[in-house]
Amino acid sequence: MTRDDSDPRETDGKTRTDDEGARQASPDGSPESGDSGTDQALPDGGASAEGADDVALDPWGSSTISDYRKLFEEFGIEEFDEVLPEVPNPHYLMRRGVIFGHRDYTPVADAMREGDDFAVLSGFMPTGDPHIGHKLVFDEIIWHQRQGGDAYGLIADLEAHSARGLSWEEIDEHARDYVLSLLALGFDPEEGELYRQSDNRTLQELAFELGSKANFSEFQGIYGFDGETNVSHMQSVVTQMADILYPQLEEPKPTVIPVGPDQDPHVRFARDLAARMRFFKVTEAYASFELTDAERSIVAAAYEAREEFAEDPEMPRCGEAAEWVADVDVSELDVDVTVETAVESVVEKLENAGMEPLRPRVRFLDANATEEAFEALIESVEGEKRRYEEHIDAFDLSASEAEELAREVELQNGGYGFLPPSSIYHRFMTGLTGGKMSSSIPASHISLLDDPQEGFDKVKSATTGGRETAEKQRELGGKADECPVYELYAYLLSGDDDEFAKRVYDECVGGERLCGGCKEQAAILMEEFLEEHQEKREEAEAMLEEMDISLESDRRGVAPGDD
């Protein structure tokens, strides 16, 4: 997994390894001498394994993620490494495995490569100062903007007020800081859009429409809401659903939502709602009855084998196919073994259809279409077609042509035509004091507003993955995989310079690098970063004036308690 294939540009002052004063390895490392391996990519769970809980994904909880692998197995998040080769000039957070997972990122990567429209959007709850964990997301938005995406950043003030109990005053103060840092890091406000949830009327209209497709029991199931949950909190959820689909209001387009994995429930729900809003559902069928995906793969295999069982292979009958499926050894077919369980239901469906011909077709099911939209669709289907009460079968269209047509007709008839939004997930940073990086523990994180000297000091007093003595460190090497300081290098301080990050890693695990000097170097880089960032924030102040984001809300009202 070692990724050192970057272009070796920009090695300026950062490449020095000043080990002066590095006589003494940090005494605060873990005493066990576990084998830390030589894999430079980040370990599962970083150094946060201690006391970590399980993987329940709760957007308002405080859970750390102890085992990223479970996210793949239990929640169906896919590994980012698998799409990495499709991404042009991947960001260093992608190359280094900090961005570890995704949902459906391929359409975004395709659009990027082909110069098609796509968008990126993420949101920030203004509950405290923006810190280096938020910087990951800022960078992800900005990178996608530079790749040609329409970029959106939003202040989740309704959520902060209703779910976290912040007053409007506190929210205003923090909102400004998020916007300034995003601008300072390179967000282009002329090309992109920044907004607050509370004063975006278009967003609220969309939220209202989406709310009509969601119900309370889903809120219970997904978020654990109950009879005590305040209603504004629920409104903030449909608002977030609207945020996620907002970039597609002008026109449907692949959209990526860069977030931490705790936000995955929101992403899944938004993908669901996007589908529920569609006028038509396009499926593939072989006869009048509907099929599940598993059933369909069996029927497809039967159709392919029609020469074997049909009296007239030009017109195989469902009944004939039923017999064939009942007799065939499914494990011999080119279908997933997990579909074997579908055999029985397939046989039944085929038997019931009897003499009906078995014939592939695409089907447009009427999900939400108006009468006019349904009529318009029938009109525009080319080739042979058959119309039913609630669906249309088309015999000369491919599935993708049918998808495209369905979207077109929907858009022309007052629908949204949403594509399911995609997401990418980054690892949470380990706190500088070990454990979780948390806004409420100042020493655990570095705020983007911290005085540079304070940033320097926090790095200097950080926990490390070092051995108890310098001697041991030379002998055994440090545990970079469990070191919050190494994380700082990998996530932030090395910037785009993979070689530098790799060198720090190799020197650490090889025992050449001692924690004192390593922290000193990191502290200097952090100080420089903060100095520069804060200068840029000042420059960004001027931009703020020109933008039409309101940083003073005239809202009134006491925040509800935190739920």
Query: Residue numbers of the site for ligand SF4 (CB under 6 A)?
Result: 464-466, 478-480, 483, 485-486, 508, 513-515, 518-519
* Rounded distance between C-alpha atoms, residue 240 and residue 207, angstroms: 8
Q: Which are the contacts of 465, defined by CB distance < 8 A and separation ≥ 6? A: 29, 30, 36, 47, 478, 479, 480, 481, 482, 483, 484, 485, 486, 508
Strands (E), 163-220: 193-196
Q: What kind and span of H or E run contains 63?
A: none
Residues 157, 243, 320, 410: which binds ligand TRP (CB under 6 A)? 243
Residue nearer to ligand TRP on the CB measure, 263 or 521: 263
Report in angstroms how near the CB of residue 12 gets to ligand SF4 at its nearest: 20
Report in angstroms how near the CB of residue 299 gets to ligand TRP at its nearest: 39
Residue 460 near residue 519, CB atoms below 8 Å:
yes
Q: Which of residues 108-127 bind ligand TRP (CB under 6 A)?
A: 121-123, 125
Q: Find tokens 């001027």 and name the residue.
A: 542
Partner from ligand TRP, ligand SF4, none contacting 42, C-beta within 5 to 8 A by type: none
Residues 235, 240, 444, 494: which binds ligand TRP (CB under 6 A)? 240
Tell which residue, 478, 479, 484, has the closest CA to residue 436: 484
Report in angstroms how near the CB of residue 90 gets to ligand SF4 at its nearest: 24
Count of chain residues binding ligand TRP (CB under 6 A): 14
Report in angstroms how near the CB of residue 476 gets to ligand SF4 at its nearest: 11
Strands (E), 409-540: 422-426
Report in angstroms how near the CB of residue 436 gets to ligand TRP at its nearest: 15
Residue nearer to ligand SF4 on the CB measure, 299 or 485: 485
222 interacts with ligand TRP by CB under 6 A: no
**How far, CA to CA in Å, does 94 sit from each of 30, 106, 136?**
29, 14, 11
455 interacts with ligand TRP by CB under 6 A: no
Phi–psi pair at 281, nearest 5 degrees: -110, 130
**3-class DSSP state of 451:** coil
Partner from ligand SF4, ligand TRP, none contacting 123, C-beta within 5 to 8 A by type: ligand TRP
Q: Which stretch binds ligand TRP (CB under 6 A): 74-82, 202-210, 218-226, 237-245?
A: 237-245
Report in angstroms how near the CB of residue 268 gets to ligand TRP at its nearest: 13
Report in angstroms how near the CB of residue 486 gets to ligand SF4 at its nearest: 4
Report in angstroms how near the CB of residue 22 gets to ligand SF4 at its nearest: 8
Partner from ligand SF4, ligand TRP, none contacting 156, C-beta within 5 to 8 A by type: ligand TRP
Q: Which are the contacts of 13, defined by CB distance < 8 A and separation ≥ 6? A: none
333 interacts with ligand TRP by CB under 6 A: no
Report in angstroms how near the CB of residue 256 gets to ligand TRP at its nearest: 10
What letters, b where the CB count within 10 A reaches 16 and e where it falls short, cover 413-435?
bebbbbbbbbbbbbbbbbbbbbb
* Rounded distance between C-alpha atoms, residue 55 and residue 70, angstroms: 7
Tell which residue, 199, 206, 210, 197, has the closest CA to residue 160: 197
Residue 475 near residue 469, CB atoms below 8 Å:
no
Report in angstroms how near the CB of residue 548 gets to ligand TRP at its nearest: 20
Residue 429 near residue 264, CB atoms below 8 Å:
no
Residue 434, strand partner residues: 432
Instruction: Dump the DSSP string for 284-308.
Output: EESSSS---HHHHHHHHHHHHTHHH
**What is the crossing angle of helices 157-164 and 168-184, to 10°?**
140
Q: Which of residues 147-166 bind ligand TRP (CB under 6 A)?
A: 154, 156, 159
Strands (E), 10-140: 78-79, 99-103, 119-124
210 interacts with ligand TRP by CB under 6 A: no
Contact pattern for ligand TRP over residues 260 through 299, marking x by CB under 6 A: ---x------------------------------------
Contact pattern for ligand TRP over residues 48 through 77, marking x by CB under 6 A: -----------x------------------
Residue nearer to ligand SF4 on the CB measure, 421 or 511: 511
Q: Which are the contacts of 245, defined by CB distance < 8 A and separation ≥ 6? A: 206, 210, 255, 270, 273, 274, 416, 418, 421
Residue nearer to ligand TRP on the CB measure, 258 or 516: 258
Residue nearest ligand TRP by beta-carbon distance: 123
257 interacts with ligand TRP by CB under 6 A: yes
Catalog residues that contact ligand TRP under the rule CB under 6 A: 59, 121-123, 125, 154, 156, 159, 240, 243-244, 257, 259, 263
